Amino acid sequence: MSTFMGYERENGRVGTRNHVLIIPLDDLSNSVTQAVENNIYGTRAIPHPYGRLQFGRDLDLTFKTLAGMGRNPNIASAVVVGIEDQWTQEIADKIAETGKSVEAISIEGSGDLKTIEKASRAARSMVKEASGKNRKEFDVSNLVVSTKCGESDTTSGLASNPTVGVVFDRLVDEGATVIFGETSELTGAESYVARNCSTPELKAKFQKIFDDYQTDIIKEKADLLGSQPTKGNIKGGLSTIEEKAFGNIQKMGTKPIKGVLEYAEEPVVKGLNYMNTSSAAAEAVTLFSAAGAVVHLFTTGQGNIVGNPIEPVIKITANPKTYNSMKEHFDLDVSGLLNFEYDLKEAGNRLYNTMLKTASGTLTANEILKHYEFAITKLYISA
């Protein structure tokens, strides 16, 4: 059994990073959280444009995403900042369920400057405590790994996506939890995914999620050409969504699906899990992070550069032109697979070893370049 060096959290989950997260409840609180990040080394802020006058499922998803980011094992502790105290405390309480240290601070009645000072002092104490935590050795069954592709081309379906599939199969065999998604990008291959569900109940749940997504698109009378596939996909040789979908599902590997999850839902079973997500890169990776994924495997053909504030994103390509022209964004080049320099098993070994090093602390290109994209999925209009 392979091992990595991670951080054990109070609830027994294991992280690959050790950040103190500064969470704005709403758009009005962004400036405070960014000031705290600027003041205190070791903190990460996640500014976003939502939270005010959302309602129903849309508000629930925003809260679930924000709380999920704080609950992620890559977070040691968190400060939640909001314009008023009730909703701010709700997010803090959900994070506190994990046993982590968390503080809720509201701006009303104090103003920005006093709030920045209070939040900075709280964050300083949390960083001091977090810095004393040591990495320990854990077997890979403790990992939660997610995957997505972006700006795909012909090399994605032929090489980089199957490489992820090999790693996912190996992780499942070793008892880890792995997650894939991109609901609209399964169009044309959805029957294959449905057949791969391990029970009739999971199959029905997946099919309903997929059908509902299609219904929403049809209601809008939308022509997805240019979005699915994107213009970059078309330029890279993918002419239809069906062609793109069968390349996309190579990432899930060959194991049966053991869990079907809604947006940002934490998996409760090990093995292969499907999550309902947008195919937009930052939105999807954010949802995986909010569900507790601690390492992400991201394949790209044309050169997507997305990252994440708390989940290290390992960027993989099999396109030698893209790798050579955008080398600073990549962690692994598997173009040798298409040049017959090595086989798929060897490509999988290279990615697996890169993943273990990342889980043990090696920084990814997105972390070094400070690509910290955070994008909440919004379901409908606000009040």
Which structural domain, as residue segments, surrounds residue 179? Answer: 139-368
CA distance 238 to 240: 6
Are residues 334 and 159 in contact, defined by beta-carbon separation less than 8 angstroms?
yes
Structural domain count, the chain: 2
| pLDDT tens string 301-328 | 999 999 999 999 999 999 999 999 999 9
Is residue 271 one of the residues assigned to a domain? Answer: yes
| pTM, entire model | 0.96
Strand ranges of the sheet holding 101-106, from the earlier edge strand across to the other edge: 43-45, 19-24, 75-82, 101-106
Residue 193 lies in a domain: yes
In a domain, 153, yes or no: yes
Q: Is residue 8 part of a domain?
A: no
Domain assignment of residue 163, yes or no? yes
User: Exposed (0-12), middle (13-18) or buried (19+): which is 311, by Cβ within 10 Å?
Assistant: buried
Q: Could you tell me if 147 and 125 lie in one domain?
A: no
Q: Is residue 381 part of a domain?
A: no
**Bridge-based pairing state of the strands 136-139 and 3-8:** antiparallel
Is residue 377 situated within a structural domain? no
Band (pLDDT 50/70/90 cuts) for residue 148 is very high
My answer on whether 100 and 157 are in the same domain is: no
Q: DSSP E strands: which ranges in 114-270?
A: 136-139, 144-150, 177-180, 257-261
182: tokens are 């991109």
What CATH number is attached to the domain comprising 47? Answer: 3.40.1400.10
Task: Return the residue matching tokens 């990040």.
Answer: 37
Question: Both 193 and 324 in a single domain?
Answer: yes
Is 122 in the same domain as 177?
Answer: no
Are residues 118 and 143 both part of a single domain?
no
Order of strands across the sheet that contains 14-15: 14-15, 3-8, 136-139
364: in domain: yes
pLDDT digits (tens, 9 = 90+) for 205-239: 999 999 998 888 888 777 665 567 777 787 777 77
pLDDT of residue 241: 78
